[in-house]
Amino acid sequence: MFTYRGALLGLPVSHSLSVYLWGRMAQRCGHPLVYTRVSALKPPRLSEIFERLRLDFLNVTSPFKAQLQGQLAEVAPAAMRLGCVNLVVRHPKGLAGYNTDPAGVSYMLQDAAKEEVGDCGVAAQPGTPERLFVVLGAGGAAAAVLYVLTQSARRAIVLSRTRAHAEELAARFGCAGYDYLSIPEIPAQSVLIGCLPPGSSVPELPWRRFSAVYDSTYAHSPIRPLAERFSLPYTGGYDWLAGQAQEGFRVVYGAMLVMDEGFYVQPASLGGVPVYVGKRDASPSSGNDTVVLWADTDLEFQQIEAYEKAAAR
């Protein structure tokens, strides 16, 4: 039987549950899968990664989502609209880029009926059209959230540490952007959607004005402790991760795999300890518990290894 070969590219990747999700999906559909994690300090050459690891597809996470389009032969409409890719697939005519995050956002915010928009399944959002959605962050995750919110004409604002970043992203989706020092009055019953990476600082917010908190992060979230302190309903990013992985499976395998509710329950532990291998040692035999350190120098290798070991704790 044909064995698919996939990988996750990012920094860090040791903590990622993508290997777990893709392994479960491959098991469900009966296709063998070899899935490797690749960690790098700088944007790598995709052609080299695909050739060295003999990949069929590559998942992409922070910080490389917005840095790879120039290496692609084709970019899907959603990825073009968002300006970043999180999935690269090998096709006969070259590498094609997709963004499945809207499907993940849609699944996480699934309180209303689903509808098809563009090349990703997205859903209308919870609450009434008058409810304000406060998007915290101005990166690729925030763009995916705004992409989905605008499909159902929801009111939204963007908050970012840097005003220019907030305003630039907000302008793309027809809303307003603010920095942390100029946050406007937040109406009661608003919804906060956090799109901050682990380790980020969180601004002073009127937490009691929020009715619910959603999060793009499923590990080491900077906003979860605050949501819990104010006893707010909190939804972490695992549903987002699982929803976008399911959409990625559809793109790669060509069919939507129907999962039961148990599939969306985050595992208590991945199990196993990542085995770090160097770029020179990378091969198609690299397995699910490996992290390939895509480094050109010994110093880069040491920096990546230290970063990954810290993230894996």
Among 284, 281, 273, which Cα is nearest to 308's? 273
CA distance 48 to 39: 14
Return the sign of the alpha-carbon dihedral for residues 123, 264, 236, 187.
positive
> Who contacts 197 (Cβ-Cβ below 8 Å, separation ≥6)?
62, 139, 217, 222
User: Do the Cβ atoms of 193 and 134 come closer than 8 Å?
Assistant: yes
Q: What's the token pair of residue 295?
A: 């480094």
Grouping H, G, I as helix, E, B as strand and the rest as coil, residue 186 is: coil
Within 10 angstroms of residue 284's Cβ, the number of other Cβ atoms is: 13
Q: What's the token pair of residue 183?
A: 């946050």
Q: Which of 65, 114, 279, 309 is catalytic?
A: 65
Q: What angle do CA 190, 195, 198 make, to 5 degrees?
A: 130
- Residue 65 annotated in active site: yes
Cis peptide before 187 (omega within 30 of 0): no
Residues annotated as catalytic (active site), given as ranges? 65
